[in-house]
Amino acid sequence: MRSALIAAAILLASAAPAFAQQTEMDAAESALRSEMAPAGVAVDRVSPNEIRVTMPSDITFDFNRADVRSEFAPRVASLARTLNQHRGMRIEIIGHADAIGSDQYNQELSERRARAVGASLLDYGVGFDRITASGRGEWSPIASNDNDWGRARNRRVEIRITNGNAK
């Protein structure tokens, strides 16, 4: 009986950190949904250990630009506030572009957009060591590049938020 109790205690102790991380992810997801969704930003729980925030460029950037629109700055501030409340989370920012223009130009534009969002988060106090930024150019479309609607959807920034221990 004693060994069964010890085994149960060990099992519970090993599950506690995972439960705490899950609870933190749940709290962050709830906060992000309430803050970001009204502004047209998609918040999706893509796995137990990952939240994806998708910022369409039509509300975040002007066409063919990489500086965050001033009217969108309050949403970036809200995102940063949530991230600062959950300091164990990592942030991967990925910029995307449509297929208009050269491959090289679109790659550079997507990288500049990702870095601009990252710089804004830094300005609001999110730690540099938690953020990575990269661009995918036109290579990860979510819609057809054959029409205006699809191209607009492809111009976006995705933010992947994961537990610091998530693989």
In tens digits, what is the pLDDT along the chain, a chain of 167 residues? 666 655 545 554 554 454 445 688 999 999 999 988 888 899 999 999 999 999 887 788 877 889 988 888 888 999 999 999 999 999 999 999 999 999 999 999 999 999 999 999 999 999 999 999 999 999 999 999 999 999 988 999 999 999 876 54
- Tens digit of each residue's pLDDT (9 = 90 or more) over 14-42: 544 544 456 889 999 999 999 888 888 99
pTM score, whole prediction: 0.83
Helical H segments across 49-131, by residue range = 57-60, 73-85, 103-123
Residue 48 has a CB neighbour count (10 Å cut-off) of 12
pLDDT of 16 reads 45
pLDDT of 99 reads 94
Q: What are the boundaries of each domain within the chain?
A: 20-163
**DSSP assignment, residue 70?**
G
pLDDT of 2 reads 67
Residue 92 has a CB neighbour count (10 Å cut-off) of 18
Q: What is the CATH number of domain 20-163?
A: 3.30.1330.60
